[in-house]
Amino acid sequence: MGGQYRITGDKYPRLRRPKRRRRLVLAVVASTTALGLAGWGTLQLIDVFTGGDDQAAAAGPKADCSARVSPSPTAGKAGRKPSGSPESYPAPGKITVNVLNATPRSGLAKDTAEELKKRGFRIGNVGNATEEYDKKVKGTALLLGAKAAEDTALPVLNTQLAGARLKTDGRKKATEVDLVIGTGFKALSKQKDADAALAELTRPKPTPTPTKTC
């Protein structure tokens, strides 16, 4: 090759990246890192002096908490639930029950009356149902009483058997009720079950109290 410069020997010149560009890249990276650290430190200082997430966490549950009233349990099973207070239910010994048989089976009223007497109820008339109800009560039984007995004597008698229907009539005496035995009647409830139902009916109910839920 002609000219001022010649390549001699078996070694070739190596091409190297200019040192100025490398220094520029390192400077940019260092500056970016420094700015990131400075920003992160600033945020930490803001959280320290303002309370940050602690205040938000403390305020959050308070904003969501609301006062609610806990429902009180009610007595009774399926069907209409008695609305009387425990004090309004008379003791079995103060209730006179007329046991009337509306079925073709003989002796049913007598046996049922004897069992109710053992359980503390007073027994009134025992015999066949009137023509109005004779062989017309399809369920377990029909309990009849005055309007005033709807939430007093009738629910107490209803604890002694399952599936009975309650009805009021025009009589005045609230403590005298009729038990009209229907064609679906088999027997009174077992003594322990009847006692448990009566205890549940007359148990004082807790007063609803407001509770906070978050």
Query: What's the distance, CA 117 to chain centroid?
Result: 38
pLDDT single digits (tens) 99-118: 999 999 999 999 999 999 99
pLDDT single digits (tens) 141-152: 999 999 999 999
Short-list 148, 184, 145, 137, CA closest to 167: 145
Confidence of residue 119 (pLDDT cuts 50, 70, 90): very high
pLDDT number for residue 88 = 84
Query: What's the distance, CA 54 to chain centroid?
Result: 35
More confident residue, 42 or 94: 94
Confidence of residue 154 (pLDDT cuts 50, 70, 90): very high
pLDDT single digits (tens) 166-198: 999 999 999 999 999 999 999 999 999 999 999
pLDDT single digits (tens) 42-81: 656 556 555 555 554 444 544 444 444 333 333 333 345 5
| CA–CA distance, 164 with 99 (Å, rounded to integer) | 14
In the chain, where do the E strands start and end? 66-69, 96-101, 122-128, 141-146, 165-169, 176-181, 210-213
